Chain A
C-alpha cells in the first residue's frame, strides 16, 4: 500500500498535464490535417477505381488496372518503411523531413490508398439498378457519382472515415519516431526511455479516449445518414 501511495504522491500532475496537453495538440494537428487531405484525395480515387472497373458505367480497363496496381503497391508497405522511403518527397513538399508538419506527408501517403479501397468497396454496394435508373432519367456520369453513389453509400463512407481516422491516430504515434511529436513521441521518450510509468499510462488513456470519441462520432453520423 505504501509503495503505491508513495508512487502516487510522487506523480507530478502539473508536469504530466502540460506534456499531455502539448502532445495531444500535436497529435490532433497531424490527424486532423492528414484526415482532411486524405478524404479529399481518397474519395475521387475510390470513385475512379469503381467507375472505371470492368462492367461499370465508365469502364477503362487498362488505366484502372494500372492505378489499381499502384494503390496495391503502396498498401503493401508497412507504415514505418513508407515513412522513411518517401522522405525525399517530404523534403520536397514541406522543406524539412523533421517535425509535426513533415509527419503529415507520410501519414497521407500511407492512408490514401487504403482509404480509397475502402471507399471503392462501399460505393460498390450501391445497387446497379439505381445507377441504371439514374441513367434512364438522363443523368450524366458526374451526376450519378454526385447524386446517387455518394449519397447512397454515405453511411458506409462515414464508417470508412472513422476507420481512417483511427488508423491515422495509430500511424501518427509512429510518426513521432521521425520527430513528428505527438502522443506516440511522448510515450516513447518518457514512458519507454525514461521509465515514466505514470506518463505511459496517461498517454494510453488519452489515446483510448480519442479513439473512442472518434468511433462514437462516426457511429452517430453514420446512423444519421442511414434511412434504409
Chain B
C-alpha cells in the first residue's frame, strides 16, 4: 500500500547547517497492516511519517501510496491524493474556533462537491463511529484529550481514506485513554479496511496493536520485523532497551541487587530467564523440569503480558544442582518454553542452605 523507495531527507543541503534526517530508507507497508515506527526523539520518525503524505518532500527517492507516485504529482494532484491519506496528531490540531461538527466537516467542505445534507449525514456517521454522537455542538476546549483525538480520527476519516497516519497520536494521553484510542484504531482497521502507520516512542503502543514494527535511529531503519519477533528476540541494542522498558517493568528489584557472574563454579546456581509464549504459557513447566532433572528451581521474578492478543510470559528462575544437572535442566526447559537465556550464575549461599 505504501512504498518508500530509497528516500533521503537532508535539511539545509549544502550549507554549514546541513542535517541528514533520513538516510536511504526503503519500506513497504502492506494493505490492511498496522505498521509501527518506533524510535527515540530526533531519530527521524516524524520526518518519515511526513514523507508518506509529502508534508515533507524527500530530497531524493520516491514515495508511492496505493501505486501512485506522490513525488511525481503537481501540487493540485497532490492535494487530491492527500484526501485519501488521513492523519492524526499528538496535539490533535483541531480548530478551536469551530465546534466538533464543523471540525469533522472541514475536509468535506474543502471540495465544493458535497451538499450540506450529505455532509450532515456523513458527519453523523463519523461521530457514531468514534462514539461521540452527543458531542457535535461542543467546542474542542470543552472536550477531554481522548475525545479530542476521537474528533481528530473522525476528521481524518471523513473523506474515506485508505491510509491513516498517526503522528504520536497517543503521546499526550494517559495510559487508559491511550488504550481506548488504540482499541478504536484496531476496530477501524477491521471495519474500514484501513492501512495504519503509527509512529511513537511508546513501546506500549506497538505492543498493543502493531503487526510489524520498524525501529528507527539516526535516520536509518535499525531493525524491522513482526512485533512478536521483535519483542521476543530483539537483535539490536536499542531494540532491546526499548523492549525491556515495555515488558520487563514487572521484574523486581531483587535481580538488580543480585550479583551475577558469567562463569560457573561448583555450587553456583544458574540464573535463567524463561520466555513463554502462546498456548505453552500455562503448562506446569517448572515443576515438571524440577522433578525430571532433580534440580531445585526457585522463582525470582515473573510477569505475564500480552503482545497484541498473544499471551507473553517472562520468568527469571534460579536452578540449583551440580553442573550436569543444571545443563540438563536447561535443555529440558528449552524444549518446553519459547526461549531460555542464561543470564549468569549466582554465587551466594542462601540462608536456608547454611543450616
Contact = CB atoms under 8 A, between A and B. Distances in A.
Interface of A: 127, 129-130, 132-140, 143, 147-148, 151-152, 154, 225, 227-228
Nearest to B82: A138
B106 A137 contact: yes
B133 interface: no
A137 B83 contact: yes
Contacts of A140: 79, 110
A200 B305 CA distance: 83
B106 A147 contact: yes
A138 B87 CA distance: 11
Given A127-B93, A154-B97, 9 more contacts: A137-B82, A137-B87, A138-B80, A138-B83, A138-B107, A138-B159, A140-B110, A151-B97, A227-B98
List the 5 closest A-B pairs by CB distance, nearest first.
A133-B93, A136-B87, A138-B82, A137-B107, A138-B79
Interface in B98-147: 98-99, 106-107, 109-110, 139-141
A186 B227 CA distance: 82
B55 interface: yes
11 contacts: A129-B93, A134-B106, A135-B55, A136-B55, A137-B87, A138-B80, A138-B107, A147-B109, A154-B97, A227-B96, A227-B99
B108 to A, nearest CB: 9
Interface residues of B, number: 29
A100 B53 CA distance: 55
Interface of B: 53, 55, 79-83, 85-87, 89, 91, 93, 95-99, 106-107, 109-110, 139-141, 155-156, 159, 165
Contacts of B83: 137-138
B78 to A, nearest CB: 8
Contacts of B91: 127, 129
Chain B at the A interface: SS class: mixed
Contacts, number: 66
A223 to B, nearest CB: 13
A136 B53 contact: yes
Contact of A227 (B79, B141, B155, B165): B141
A129 B156 CA distance: 14
A152 B97 CA distance: 6
Contact of B87 (A127, A133, A143, A152): A133
Contacts of A148: 95
Contacts of A134: 106
A139 B93 contact: no
A135 B55 CA distance: 7
Nearest to B158: A137
Contacts of A139: 79, 110
Contacts of A143: 110
Contacts of A133: 87, 89, 93
A136 B155 CA distance: 11
Given A137-B159, A140-B79, A225 B106 contact: no
B110 A137 contact: yes
B354 to A, nearest CB: 64
B24 to A, nearest CB: 25
Contacts of B95: 130, 148, 151-152
Instruction: Please indicate which of the listed interface residues B80, B107, B109, B159 has the most CB atoms of chain A within 10 Å of its own CB.
Output: B107
Nearest to A131: B93
